[in-house]
Amino acid sequence: MPSKQLFAEHIASLENNYQSALQFCGISEENSILVHSGSEQFYYADDRAVAFQAYGHFLHWVPVNRPDQFLLFTPGQRARYLQVTPSDYWHDQTIDNADWWTDSLNIINLDRVEEIAKYIDSAHTIYMGQEPEMAQALLGGQLEVNPQPLLHYLNYQRAYKSDYEVSQLREANAKALIGHKAAEDAFKEGLSEYGIHQAYLDACEILEYEAPYTNIVALDDRSAILHYQNKRRGSAMNSQVLLIDAGYRLNNYGSDITRTYAKDSAHPVFRSLLEGMESLETELVDSIEIGKNYTEIHASTLRRVGALLRQLELVNADDEVMLEMKLPQLFMPHGVGHLLGLQVHDVAGFQQNLAGTMKAAPEHSPALRNTRTVEENMVFTIEPGCYFIPLLLEPQRNTAIGKMLNWNLIDELYPYGGIRIEDNISVTKSGIENLTRKP
């Protein structure tokens, strides 16, 4: 059970943060902010609901992932949670009001969404959420909706995690590692992608929709598909490589861990590459320090991946030539990581200040999701990768870049797919805490 004290401190910091946001945006403190969890959505032309995921800014206050819930912040008052629990015999509408979090909020129980109007002055309320038309219909057309300066401010601040948030991410890592060990064992036993996936879920004691994202469970050549979405059921006794990217969600905070395994019978160069990538990932984590820009970490990753490729005679070129020709990106097309929290790819990774100034990913690495400077209380992933992707490599076979590549060896390694190693990193005043390695 989470610490009641840590959650109370978390709510106090949110109250201060929201009040500062109003001041920063020049919004009168006579105004309240209404944060909506969101509404249930349905598949097109169907009455079957899509698995619900509440708005991150609502979950920041209330650990309840349910549709049509509302948090009302009014400066100088205790935050009010307008808890809507419909009378319903089709579905279980029970909400677990545990005292570790309810003691920090003023909870108002309602039977219908329409009842929220009794507690809201629409002329002095700002709505944050995905259903502005619904909110305006309930509360009046004068309701202000999703003002961008306010969202910029609050998105930017989400990168800084409270002690409560870090405690949830730390525990989410510990839970996920139980699943990863079960997945590794299942791979060694020769289970299929489907079997490994089920072993992970069983070990974590979760349903698939309860995970923070869809597990990536890729054997052999499929591990070169970065967001591989399938779970093959055929025999996998002869599979040589497993790449599993899977997390655990605790009170809506999700871990994000990737591991790659190779059997002793795998190609010796691939096994050496895996060993080198594991060392490379550790070195990257050790190199993180406050004040370093995340783009520097990514640039260092590309340089290190290139050096490893040269060491294993997959590439014949020096560092500067490789970087100038964007050669490492052929083997690692993604970014080295992203912010982590209530969303797996948490918000404001490109935002440089409270006002919303953005810094795009560098031109040489457009898939990088984070350009922030490393600061205390941030949590992010470090996930270098190295893959043999025909779609990227084959067009270079008869080019100037292709002349630098060892095609005989690449052809031998195509069936082994690729490698990714990913840990979750918390930045503290005294240094770096690897939430994955020492949960």
Residues 6+ apart with CB under 8 A from 409: 269, 313, 314
Q: Each residue of 273-303: pLDDT tens digit?
A: 999 999 999 999 999 999 999 999 999 999 9
Mean pLDDT, the chain, as a whole number? 97
Q: Which of 289, 267, 287, 268 is nearest to 279 (CA)?
A: 287
Residue 212 has pLDDT above 70, yes or no: yes
Q: What is the mean pLDDT of residues 140-165?
A: 95
Q: What is the CATH number of the domain that holds 11?
A: 3.40.350.10
Residues 188 and 151 in one domain: no
Examine the domain organization and report whether 192 and 338 are in the same domain.
yes
Give me the CATH number covering residue 408.
3.90.230.10
Q: What is the pLDDT of residue 140?
A: 85
Share of the chain above pLDDT 70, in %: 100
Task: Tell how strand 32-36 and strand 70-73 pair up.
Answer: antiparallel
Mean pLDDT, residues 245-255 taken together: 98
For residues 205 and 66, membership in a common domain is answered with: no
Domain range for residue 13? 4-157
Residue 58 falls inside a structural domain = yes
Query: Which pLDDT band, with edges at 50, 70 and 90, does 231 fall under?
Result: very high
371-430: pLDDT as tens digits: 999 999 999 999 999 999 999 999 999 999 999 999 999 999 999 999 999 999 999 999
Average pLDDT over residues 202-212: 97
Please state the domain count of the chain.
Answer: 2
Tell me, yes or no, whether 153 and 206 share the same domain.
no
For residue range 41-62, what is the model confidence (pLDDT) as tens digits? 999 999 999 999 999 999 999 9
pLDDT surpasses 80 at 20: yes
The secondary structure element, H or E, covering residue 387 is strand 385-387
**Do residues 295 and 217 share a domain?**
yes
Q: What is the mean pLDDT of residues 83-100?
A: 96
Same domain (yes/no): 16, 100: yes
Domain end among 157, 183, 207: 157
Q: CA neighbours within 13 Å on the CB side: how many for 399?
A: 10
Same domain, 406 and 347: yes
Same domain, 191 and 117: no
Q: What is the pTM of this model?
A: 0.97
For residue 141, name the pLDDT band (cuts at 50, 70, 90).
Answer: confident
Residue 392 lies in a domain: yes
In the sheet with 257-262, reading across from the earlier edge strand, the strands are: 216-219, 241-246, 257-262
Is position 20 within any domain? yes
| 8 A C-beta contact, residue 161 and residue 169 | yes
| β-strand pairing of 144-145 with 249-250 | unpaired
- CA–CA dist 216, 229 (Å, integer): 6
Q: What is the pLDDT of residue 110?
A: 98
Q: Are residues 400 and 257 in the same domain?
A: yes
Q: What is the pLDDT of residue 128?
A: 98
Give yes or no: residues 13 and 74 share one domain: yes
pLDDT band at 142 (very low <50, low <70, confident <90, very high): confident
pLDDT of residue 1: 84
Q: Is residue 439 part of a domain?
A: no
Q: What is the pLDDT of residue 439?
A: 52
Q: Looking at the structure, tell me whether residues 350 and 388 fall in a common domain.
A: yes
Distance of alpha carbon 304 from alpha carbon 295, whole angstroms? 14
Residue burial 187-201, b: 16+ Cβ < 10 Å; e: rest: beeebbbebbbbbbb
Work out the average pLDDT over 253-263: 98
Does residue 176 share a domain with residue 30?
no
- Which of 132, 157, 182 lies at the terminal end of a domain, its last residue? 157
